[in-house]
Amino acid sequence: MADALLFHTEGATATYVEVILPLALPKPFTYRVPEALVQEAAFGKRVEVQFGKSKRYSALIIGLKSEAPAHDTKPIISVIDEAPIVTKAQIALWRWMADYYLCTLGEVMNAALPANLKLASETVVTLSPLFDRDFEGLNDQEYLIAEALTLQQELSIDDIRGILQRKSVYPLIRAMLDKRVIYLKEDLQEKYKPKTIGCVRLQEPYASQPNTLNEAFDKLSRSGRQTEALMAYLHLSKQLDFVRKQDVYDKAQVDSTVLRAMEKKGILEIYDREVSRLGGYEEETVNAQDLSAQQTTALEGIKQAFASEKPVLLHGVTGSGKTRVYTELMQEAIARGEQVLYLLPEIALTTQIISRLEKTFGGDIAIYHSRMSNNERVELWNSALNGRPVLLGARSSLFLPFQKLGLIIIDEEHDPSFKQYDPAPRYNARDTALYLGHLHGSRVLLGTATPSLESYQNAQKGKYALVQMRERFGGLKLPGISLVDLKQEQKERKLQSHFSSVLLSSLRQTLGRGEQAILFQNRRGHSPVYRCTTCGWHAECIHCDVSLTYHKFHNNLRCHYCGYQAALPPACPACGDKKLALQGFGTEKIEDELKVYLPEARIARMDLDTVKGKHAHARLINDFEEGRLDILVGTQMVTKGLDFEKVALVGVLSADQLLQYPDFRAGERAFQLMMQVAGRAGRKHRQGEVLIQGFNTSHPVLQEVLNGDYAGFFAREMMERQEFHYPPYLRLIRITLKHTKPERVNEAARLYEKWLKKALGQWVMGPALPTVARVRGYYLLDFMIKIPHGAKNLQKVKAIVREATDNLSLAQGLSSVRVNTDVDPY
């Protein structure tokens, strides 16, 4: 299968090409190929084209034709690439996505291609900081551009066209990007910082004349620690190509002041060494540990299922050792000469897993993530084309150009961040990966401790094979989970702010034993509501229909939807009274109050507000891991993939908030979040403890969490879904109409409703106001279409929706109403 989907170069006879433009056009566009370019034009190459009156784009060839189309065609201006940049399998995936998720090929291409492969007239370039003014290697035209950039800092592609006085400039831009003479501007602002490692080496003359080293030791004779450090360095330099500062610290038990003093004395030099941007670590890889009996059994089960060409759902409790099973399968795939795609929900939050995989696979693994520069992305893209064995990344890594994709691992398959909400394509990476696997004939493994309902149902129906791991690795017990009834605590006057007496005393005991705790509250900021106690007014965003959250650190109110900020009004703007109160609580308040109750504890917070910087998240995890912190307070970030040795206690501050969320998946999400965060407790040496606080302790989900009863949870939740007509018993498509003027959305919705209901009748719900009915100044109205299973139903609905959307764009006065379509909007 795969071979047929790779490149082919029957470009020689094409006189017309079908291309995808990076726009939301309903169909591919056809251009004529001038005689001179016929040899070059081929599937998968980019071409420079004009679209509209004057705009230039790079468009991608996805089809070649010899007959003229019915309409007039414009010629392509140039062929940008020497070799194709995408494979046939990729285009097949894009076509499937555009069809399944009701969007355009242009939108899919925009999501799929790295920025460097998508040039447009307004793209701005600058000279690379790595370009050392070596103009010799440049041809005349490149020289002109480089020179202009030394004078002018930045130029748009249109500017360059003006300077060169020629029609076609994209191939030239591409060549200069490839040579690292120029960069896209957006890249340099934030992302381009080479990764470096602090290293040490000898200064001269010691470096080149080892016989002079005695003098160095003489110079240090008065400092034992410096002497130790020099000996350590010399020892290490015999074994290693580069000696890191850290290596010397570890070996000689010294710190940076010692090295700096030696630098001043002219003996050692501290320098930064750039590490290869793709390969990541150059550390030695470690040998795999032996499999446990449970892992061996699971592995056999998985391989058997693969032999019958079924995807496998690996349902293994937290700490059961799923990662080791994955690595075994990955190694086998690599040995067969295949590529592996390892999908993770959020790269930034899973640094621990990544470093484990890096240690196992070394240079075989490459990581695709959002904080890469555009150049790094292209490097990685090319390395996938060249057959790099393991590609790991969040959802967008499924767009890489795989050659021989043998295995796809979808880790934490239940995680909501596999779903992209905005912009289109609004896709679910787990579901798309299954199709990708189908295209390549790859084995697909979905792993999790808390399967999504749809995956578990697929396993029950026999569409997936189910493999289970019920025990933690090393015979470790699952944590003991208990509920803390806040009503009772309140009655007995034991509740202190948001902390039960049980939680506080457990925290004290844990810290007393020198162990650590994690506290989970799924809301950031200090207080989510600022309310007048006299008239009930509360502070709302001026752009969105949501209340503003108080942030104590900044001492202001902030919108979590659009970022709007406002000062705290000193009096109620409605009634003028000054009795204003903060209500509810987020992580910031918890951290704050905890410092009062546990003044000795070292507490840190992990949420969107504290992990903004590039390395902030990694630093927090590191501090916690190395025991520089006692308590980590955080949002769902603390539920993901963390594995700390000394965490003995996990506290969930408010189960109520999780369970009351207005969404049909609230129960499922709450179960998953609580089980995942509970899984952080007691992972290495002893049984951990989990305390879940709540006012409504009789909620069935809580009992299921308490008993670790996935089967019970699944059965009850499925019954509710069936009764109230929700997935996985049927499909949903959500359509959101938006406009800045409410009357426009209303009018559009009336028309849209008529068209939908005429064709689809009672499958259509709405129009209705969504929970947040205005966002960033746009008024929203939602339709929900509930579609009974069956491919025909789905095709029919999609055709109707496309038609209604087209009609609306032609309707008088309503063409500016935006329509967002979301298939499987959960």
Judged by the rule CB under 6 A, the positions of this chain that interact with ligand ADP are 289-292, 295, 316, 318-324, 473, 643
Helix ranges, 545-654 (H): 587-597, 616-625
For the CA atoms of 380, 382, 383, 385, the dihedral, rounded to the nearest 10 degrees, stands at 130
Among 249, 537, 661, 729, binds Zn ion (CB under 5 A): 537
Alpha carbon distance 176, 178 (integer Å): 5
Interface with Zn ion (CB under 5 A), residue total 15
Among 19, 544, 674, 702, binds Zn ion (CB under 5 A): 544
Alpha carbon distance 27, 69 (integer Å): 14
Angle at CA of residue 578, ends 575 and 581, nearest 5°: 105
Determine if 581 is a binding residue for Zn ion (CB under 5 A).
no
559 binds, among ligand ADP, Zn ion, none (CB under 5 to 8 A by kind): Zn ion
561 binds, among Zn ion, ligand ADP, none (CB under 5 to 8 A by kind): Zn ion
The beta-strand segments (E) located in 661-729 are 689-694
574 binds, among ligand ADP, Zn ion, none (CB under 5 to 8 A by kind): Zn ion
643 binds, among Zn ion, ligand ADP, none (CB under 5 to 8 A by kind): ligand ADP
SS3 call for 68: coil
Question: Least distance (Å) from ligand ADP to the CB of residue 292?
Answer: 5
731 binds, among ligand ADP, Zn ion, none (CB under 5 to 8 A by kind): none
Q: Are 546 and 561 in contact (CB under 8 A)?
A: yes
Checking DSSP bridges between strand 443-448 and strand 465-469, what pairing results, if any?
unpaired
Q: What is the full DSSP assignment across 408-427? A: EEEETTT-GGGB--SSS---
| CB burial of residue 221 (10 Å; 0-12, 13-18, 19+) | exposed
* Residue 185 CA from chain centroid, whole number: 23
Considering the complex, state which of residue 207 and residue 291 has its C-beta at the smaller distance from ligand ADP.
291
Alpha carbon distance 648, 476 (integer Å): 13
Question: Least distance (Å) from ligand ADP to the CB of residue 825?
Answer: 29
Among 572, 631, 647, 650, binds Zn ion (CB under 5 A): 572
321 binds, among ligand ADP, Zn ion, none (CB under 5 to 8 A by kind): ligand ADP
**Tokens 């606080």, located at residue:** 693
Q: Are 270 and 263 in contact (CB under 8 A)?
A: yes
Determine if 574 is a binding residue for Zn ion (CB under 5 A).
yes
Considering the complex, state which of residue 61 and residue 478 has its C-beta at the smaller distance from ligand ADP.
478
Question: Least distance (Å) from ligand ADP to the CB of residue 290?
Answer: 6
323 binds, among ligand ADP, Zn ion, none (CB under 5 to 8 A by kind): ligand ADP
Q: Which of these segments, 260-268, 398-406, 558-566, 755-763, binds Zn ion (CB under 5 A)?
A: 558-566
319 binds, among Zn ion, ligand ADP, none (CB under 5 to 8 A by kind): ligand ADP
Determine if 556 is a binding residue for Zn ion (CB under 5 A).
no
Alpha carbon distance 428, 409 (integer Å): 15
Angle at CA of residue 374, ends 372 and 380, nearest 5°: 70
Considering the complex, state which of residue 491 and residue 554 has its C-beta at the smaller distance from Zn ion.
554
Question: Least distance (Å) from Zn ion to the CB of residue 780?
Answer: 13
Question: Least distance (Å) from Zn ion to the CB of residue 186?
Answer: 25
Q: Which of these segments, 423-431, 519-527, 577-585, 655-663, binds Zn ion (CB under 5 A)?
A: 577-585
Considering the complex, state which of residue 684 and residue 776 has its C-beta at the smaller distance from ligand ADP.
684
Considering the complex, state which of residue 402 and residue 550 has its C-beta at the smaller distance from Zn ion.
550
| CB burial of residue 265 (10 Å; 0-12, 13-18, 19+) | middle
Among 169, 267, 378, 541, binds Zn ion (CB under 5 A): 541
Q: Are 86 and 20 in contact (CB under 8 A)?
A: no
Q: Which 517-536 positions form the footprint of Zn ion (CB under 5 A)?
A: 532, 534-535
Contacts from 786-792 at CB under 8 Å and sequence distance 24+? 786/725, 786/730, 786/731, 786/732, 787/730, 787/731, 787/732, 787/733, 787/763, 788/730, 788/763, 789/729, 789/730, 789/731
Considering the complex, state which of residue 448 and residue 654 has its C-beta at the smaller distance from ligand ADP.
448
Considering the complex, state which of residue 520 and residue 779 has its C-beta at the smaller distance from ligand ADP.
520
Considering the complex, state which of residue 292 and residue 697 has its C-beta at the smaller distance from ligand ADP.
292
Determine if 557 is a binding residue for Zn ion (CB under 5 A).
no
608 binds, among Zn ion, ligand ADP, none (CB under 5 to 8 A by kind): none
Considering the complex, state which of residue 64 and residue 532 has its C-beta at the smaller distance from Zn ion.
532
| Residue 743: CA count within 13 A, CB half-sphere | 1
**Tokens 């705290």, located at residue:** 568
SS3 call for 169: coil
Q: Which 181-210 positions form the footprint of Zn ion (CB under 5 A)?
A: none
544 binds, among Zn ion, ligand ADP, none (CB under 5 to 8 A by kind): Zn ion
Alpha carbon distance 783, 785 (integer Å): 7
Considering the complex, state which of residue 110 and residue 327 has its C-beta at the smaller distance from ligand ADP.
327
Spell out the SS3 assignment of 609-629.
Answer: CCCCCCCHHHHHHHHHHCCCC
324 binds, among ligand ADP, Zn ion, none (CB under 5 to 8 A by kind): ligand ADP
Question: Least distance (Å) from ligand ADP to the CB of residue 645?
Answer: 8
Alpha carbon distance 469, 588 (integer Å): 37
Reading the block at residue 577, the tokens are 């009274």
Considering the complex, state which of residue 329 and residue 797 has its C-beta at the smaller distance from ligand ADP.
329
72 binds, among Zn ion, ligand ADP, none (CB under 5 to 8 A by kind): none
532 binds, among Zn ion, ligand ADP, none (CB under 5 to 8 A by kind): Zn ion
Considering the complex, state which of residue 83 and residue 574 has its C-beta at the smaller distance from Zn ion.
574
Radius of gyration for the chain, computed over Cα atoms and rounded to the nearest angstrom: 30
Question: Least distance (Å) from Zn ion to the CB of residue 577?
Answer: 5
Binding interface with Zn ion (CB under 5 A): 532, 534-535, 537, 541, 543-544, 559, 561-562, 564, 572, 574-575, 577
